[in-house]
Chain A
């Protein structure tokens, strides 16, 4: 269900409709080519030998027997990568430290998590590659390991690195941040009510169903191609070239279809290794991770300890807040506290506040971006504390938030004033939704929570060109992870004023389009969309000037309406796009435009979720009975795909709240590296996820688009926890709310 803002409404023919996606037929017939579906003649299969230890020094590696096995064509270790000084490559929401990324592809002198790659082989069959791994001998000096935040922070904790924060004595802290204003201690001391607690969340995986996969092919002259599943072909090119020491110009990366990313595929684990193996063997090399390897060696979202105290007046004005965030970022500092510190309190006007954060390393896979990275953990605790305040004041939880919500013109985290944000509109839409006032059955509890995400702009390039028959191609450099190519075609079609079927969107490779930052950060429909619109507008101007030429009139006399040029003076017959296209060669040649953008004006977006749960007090089971996701979207180019983002993000958050968590065995290895015991929601766990799209258009995007992909994962953690707390009459502080945990809390004193 989409609510239109009457003021921002434009007369649109394509944008806002729900056409079938252009890549849909191939996806429902099994024809679409994902990373593992790609085959090249002479292709070898790669395999990786991984550390069995959570923390160890590598003393020696002997690959001679493996190299001698018939069918083995190449072997690679970190020694095959040139040593890179710790350069960082901008990869959208986070920078990628090249040296650390190289070690996550192949370990150097130490292994710092169980499952870290140590040696790679390429062989003529997967069976031979696996047999080759058994023949490799690695000598380790096992070191004590540490997993939990509190353990890693102890004075006597084993240290993973000695160079994390050069200004400090060596420790397991990788970063420290603080943001403050006013006097929060005084404000809390004077507050009429204070709420807070020590909240915890566990490491969670993005859970994409498609494991990482790539094929690399290096030619004898050093030129190379990569086909891969990734959120960003340009990022793959930059990072793989940097890690392997290749020239950027010699590497061409083609993104294949991607089976889910959610941030987890915004770095590389396989491509540099496949390049080395291909260079050494002279043949293409395919590498695909198993599900076990995905869990043991690719970046989860970090676990966290969040200590929060919030104070309010008895009228419900939030006057002070103190939040401390500790993130379990894994073996190398990864997606950490920065975004958490920024987002923790950012939805509310609180004059006195202090937010501190730190990244704590420990011997588990290095965390990486997961949909609104680091914000869900921080906002979870804040939203639960606010729920407590509402409870203490006897105040409606939405009304309390309305009193304190940030408004247009308020200062953002950077100090600049916020534009026409729509938090209040989103809260209002939730308040009047029938779900909010529906009666509650016995043993049911209702919780609400809000959330926000900053959203990104970023560099994007788009190309629009006209074919001889008047149809159009729109090419961008952004892999399609959620239906964006449909939206690109729709926006181009809207500008060209032609039916969407006349516009073919393609996702181009790195050699065929100008630079684009990866798909992530909720930026693609916004920023790449801007590039598409600018390119399409340029093409329209060219079409008009060709018509002017044909008619012998001034270009200012030509209007573009409904896909045709109309002469404003005289009685010329309109020229349809196909008529102009047919004469392109005679009127000046091909008609196309490529535009690059780098917008800095992405707007934050907000979401409010309403969750009803049913609690089985005897067993601690929680059933999500009713769920509504209200989200501020700017403008939904394709409402089905925007609804899909809201629903998918909500369900990931529900999983995070109820059952998902990494478990570790005594040796420090991941104990649940599979979908059996890493428990993501299944279809029978859930009700329908009702969605409401609130449209307050972005003033500077041609169609009013704001980012929608990430914010929906933020509210569910607290929405579910608040609902469970309401049903149980007790506050729950620790996620996930497994039945065993809920049962323990219900049966504990106090």
Chain B
């Protein structure tokens, strides 16, 4: 097995395309664990952390561009990003421990495609897109479209995610992410709920996106849940309707981390709690 640290996108693409068992490496916190367990045996590891666009976050077109290989903890240092998208930053900074977060990245979290990935429901709720680099050049794709199933993406041979794009923020908008875990840290989400919403000056919800993790083969947007909030001031009846929509969208499994019944019940609980936080942030936002 060989290790490569390309310094240009073209070089990275060429290396990735050169063999079927080449794997991109970002933070490595999933890759190394899977190599160690024998689940994957790459013939070549292409470390993208050396690519300039792959690390760091910056404003662009009113929104943000985040290098896919930016460590989660670095996101905490971007004050503008934390102010505009606290839910996304919090979601990324729930992954693992401090040690893990100093290496893990949202690009890697996304492309590892665990149904329970923490950053993904927040990214989907934020309507994030990703820039995919590959033999055919660069293309921009909604984050949700990258996910094909547990552990599988729609990336083609030689492709990798280079950047994550967050759109321009509407005024009076806020996002939040919460997850259910058995302990207080270090667990994989049993259920994850990402919510992003905007309201008008009177607190009436004008737009809302609710996304769930760990309750289906991929993280998913629940359009009916967002729709249930629009035009309301998040009264009990609206939140109930949102909760029912969220539960109806769940297709969870029983596994060593949670049961079907518990996941369905908690999807509504955590979506409600995340909605409350997002709403408060939206009302306090400029």
Contacts and interface: CB of A to CB of B under 8 A. Distances in A.
Instruction: Check A-B contact in the complex, CB < 8 A.
Output: yes
Interface of A: 292, 618-620, 623, 658-659, 663, 671-672, 676-677, 679, 681-682, 684-685, 738-740, 743-744, 747
Nearest to B97: A682
B184 A684 contact: yes
Interface string B165-189: 0000000000000001011111110
Contact of B269 (A619, A672, A676): A619
B29 to A, nearest CB: 12
Nearest to B265: A743
A672 B266 CA distance: 23
B262 A740 contact: yes
For the residues of B in contact with A, the DSSP-based class is loop
A498 B22 CA distance: 67
A600 to B, nearest CB: 43
Interface stretch (B60-68, B71-79, B231-239, B252-260): B252-260
B188 A292 contact: no
A685 B184 CA distance: 6
B99 interface: no
A684 B185 contact: yes
From A658, A679, A740, name the one whose CB has the most chain B CB atoms within 10 angstroms: A740
Contacts of B190: 740
Contacts of B184: 623, 682, 684-685
Contacts of A658: 182
5 contacts: A676-B186, A677-B256, A679-B183, A684-B183, A739-B182
A619 B182 contact: no
B37 interface: yes
A659 to B, nearest CB: 5
A658 B181 CA distance: 13
From B37, B182, B186, B187, name the one whose CB has the most chain A CB atoms within 10 angstroms: B182
A618 B269 contact: yes
A738 B180 CA distance: 12
A744 B188 contact: no
A690 to B, nearest CB: 20
Contacts of B256: 663, 671-672, 677
Interface of B: 37, 180, 182-188, 190, 256-259, 261-262, 265-266, 269
Contacts of B182: 658-659, 679, 738-740
Nearest to A622: B182
A619 B180 contact: yes
Contacts of A677: 188, 256-257
A463 B8 CA distance: 68
Nearest to B263: A740
Contacts of B258: 740
Contacts of B266: 619
B184 to A, nearest CB: 4
Contacts, number: 49
A679 B190 CA distance: 14
B37 A292 contact: yes
A685 B187 CA distance: 12
A596 B185 CA distance: 48
Contacts of A744: 259, 261-262
Q: Which 6 A-B pairs have the closest CB atoms?
A: A740-B262, A663-B256, A684-B184, A671-B256, A685-B184, A684-B185
Contact of B259 (A618, A681, A740): A740
A184 B259 CA distance: 41
A213 B123 CA distance: 44
B58 to A, nearest CB: 33
Contacts of B261: 744
B193 to A, nearest CB: 12
Nearest to A678: B256
B37 A679 contact: no
Contact of B180 (A623, A681, A739): A739
Contacts of A739: 180, 182, 262
From B37, B180, B184, B258, name the one whose CB has the most chain A CB atoms within 10 angstroms: B184
B42 to A, nearest CB: 15
Nearest to A292: B37
Contacts of A676: 186-188
Nearest to B266: A619
B220 to A, nearest CB: 22
A740 B266 CA distance: 9
A658 B183 CA distance: 9
Given A659-B182, A676-B187, 10 more contacts: A619-B269, A658-B182, A671-B256, A672-B256, A676-B188, A679-B182, A682-B186, A684-B185, A685-B184, A743-B265
Contact of A743 (B186, B257, B262): B262
A62 B256 CA distance: 35
Contacts of A743: 262, 265
B186 to A, nearest CB: 5
A432 B282 CA distance: 51
A743 B261 CA distance: 10
Contact of B183 (A292, A672, A681, A747): A681
A681 B187 CA distance: 11
Given A671-B256, A677-B256, A744-B262, A659 B183 contact: yes
Contacts of A623: 184
A679 B259 CA distance: 16
Nearest to B257: A677
Nearest to B37: A292
Contacts of A682: 183-186
B227 to A, nearest CB: 24
Contacts of A292: 37
Nearest to A736: B182
A133 to B, nearest CB: 11
Contacts of A747: 265
Contacts of B262: 620, 739-740, 743-744
Contacts of B180: 619, 739
A685 B183 contact: yes
Contacts of A671: 256
Nearest to B262: A740
Contacts of B269: 618-619
